[in-house]
A and B are shown apart, each in its own frame.
Chain A
Amino acid sequence: MSVEVRIPTILRTYTGGEKAVQADGATLSALIDDLEAKNPGIKDRLVDNGDLRRFVNIYVNDEDVRFLGGLEASLSDGDQVVVLPAVAGGAA
């Protein structure tokens, strides 16, 4: 199975500049491991201590994975995954 993963500008240093890459995995967690195997270093930008990073949003078919079980979210062939860093900040 194969899933298209859309990569944000700031992480394209890991994908040789590619805006989208293909990866495999029955769950988001497995997908990220496959991404890491093909694009070393990227996992650390997505996952921290076994959890999705607070300020990285990942969507499966337009749904925020936080509502789909997070790293355990299941994936099917042809799914579309989008990675978008949060746009956030502030004086605090």
Chain B
Amino acid sequence: MLRIEQLSKVFYPGTVNEKTAIEYIDLDVRDGDFITVVGSNGSGKSTLFNLISGTYPVTGGKIILNGKDVTNSPEYRRAFTIGRIFQDPTKGTAAKMSIEDNMITAFKKGMKGLGISLNASKRGYFKEELKQLSMGLEDRLKDNVGLLSGGQRQALTLLMTVLSRPQMLLLDEHTAALDPRNAQIVMDLTTEFISRYRLTTLMVTHNMQHAIDFGNRLIMMDGGKIILDLSQEEKHSLTVPKLVKMFKSIKNQEYVSDEDLLTP
């Protein structure tokens, strides 16, 4: 599905602010994988997502999506395959437009024509789809999205992303800005949609328990590198303390080897 080869990203190269955000990452995401991604702030998770979706140009390496090299293709074109949801609930919807107008934009990916697709049957379909969010949005099709709460907006974003039929989902801490109850609702919907539409998924989370509970694979990032890649079987017996211990021991090894370099 997605193959990343020797990917690297350096910000402000050649200046005093030069910063390596991603250091030669290789990653093979198989069809149907649901990978959780953990790592501390600045470990390169978001940069990795920005590179995959095409927000930033890469410094080196290749991104291969469905066997095609998309390293230099623009973000909007990759969006046909990749659906991305951000932490900020306002990023996925247009606040100044009604729910139905938002949904019709998401309904079919790509450039739009002069046809009028928003008709009674579409409205009925949108209502049915909105019902599964159980947030009462099905009765508010004509309300502006700006009037909705953060949880409602994120659930709507999720629904719109799924309606646009991507093959792959990139979830960038998409429940982190919500209160616990809404976060739970959105997370339940997410897993429901992922299994129903068999979406290949990468999910960044700061919730270690979520990282362990969801998905069939877990990767941990640090300093722009993937330092841990656990399969389904390895995840099975994993607990949060074990995961933290693994992280610390890997960090220690690095630290020790750094020390080795300093002593003659």
A, B in one complex:
no
